[in-house]
Amino acid sequence: MLAGNILKSLRIAVAVAGSAVLVVMVIVSAHCFIRRRRSNPWMVLSAEEEVEITECSQFKISEIRAATNSFSEDSKIGEGGFRKVYRGKLENGKYIAVKRLERCSSQGQQHFKDEVAQLVRLQHKNLIKLHGYCLEEGERILILEFAPNGSLERFTSDSIKRVLLSWERRFSIIRGIARGLLYLHEDSCLNIIHSDLKPSNVLLDDNMNPRISDFGMTRLFDLDQSREKTAHPAGTFGYMAPQYVRHREISAKTDVYSFGVVVLEIVSGKKYSEHLLSDAWKNWRKGATFRLIDPMLNSSSSRSEMSRCIQIALLCVQENVGSRPTMASVVLMLGSQSTTLPMPTQPAYSTNASVGEMSTSSVSGLSTPSTNEAQDGSTSYMISLLID
């Protein structure tokens, strides 16, 4: 009897020890995998790891052709950066944005799969969603959510459409953009820097909710890395932080700067010019921010909220990178009127540091703002020279 009890106890001890070893092995393996992914965010996924790919729909090329009328010119709503964008309608009546990668692009199929695997992970109400992809017949196509109201630029640059943007709606758009950027920077599994935020890359759904789009200029950054350099800056003049243009330094504060410029456009109703920051700074210092506010916004009851947004925008466009707030701080400042705002310092490009002093020919991969930018209604394929 005693020998039997000892044997039973021994079996239990062995089983417990074995389970403990198994748990430790799982934890160690997971830790090693996470460290490996963080050290190389562009690491190619193996077949077993491509879970994200299977979680979105793989469309047939015949479905895409039917939805876009064989990629007709009438269906095309934008192009550029090695891709064309089409508005499509599926058999079930659902509208989609179809982003077709040009065959002449140097991007390979594996790069496309990695891109899809990353985009599927991004789930936020202020980001355009990825519905699926197509790889048939040599095509590389992304199928994305369609934004029926087009881009924010369509409203801010059109005096007739801008009437539809009440202050309440504009403020909601500002807060939505801020939350979307916060998700990209800190809350997503990829920690993404957009690097080309501008009104044409903010799309509006059927309820006028903002959806950040166009990750063609995206950079991934390690959680332990606050700043890095890129060999090929890419973006749009006026929305690019000076450190990005001059020294090719990119960080989350690059997007913070762009956000500040976009906020000033939304509040003022003026398209970006090199005088926008100067005017905002001068009027704020004089206590006359009302001069910057869009005349179409006649609600005096919201003037203090508008002025507060101008001050937050000025904090975002400060010359010194370290002085700019994080998007987490911006979201907090926008959400609480009782939060005391810091005093901004002089913004970049407000005096002798004019955007005009730096020509597009001096830096590759850059574009200038245009009223004819494509309103593609979707998140773009990451195909810029920035990640080649």
Catalytic residues: 196
Of residues 181, 239, 180, the one with CA closest to residue 209: 180
d(CA 212, CA 156): 16
Of residues 213, 193, 71, the one with CA closest to residue 146: 213
DSSP strand pairing (130-134 vs 57-58): parallel
CB 77 within 8 A of CB 85: yes
CB 88 within 8 A of CB 376: no
The answer for residues whose C-beta is within 8 angstroms of residue 167's C-beta and 6 or more apart is: 297, 299, 302, 305, 306
Distances in Å between the Cα of 249 and the Cα atoms of 91, 228, 252, 338, 349 are 46, 6, 10, 34, 17
What's the length of the chain? 388
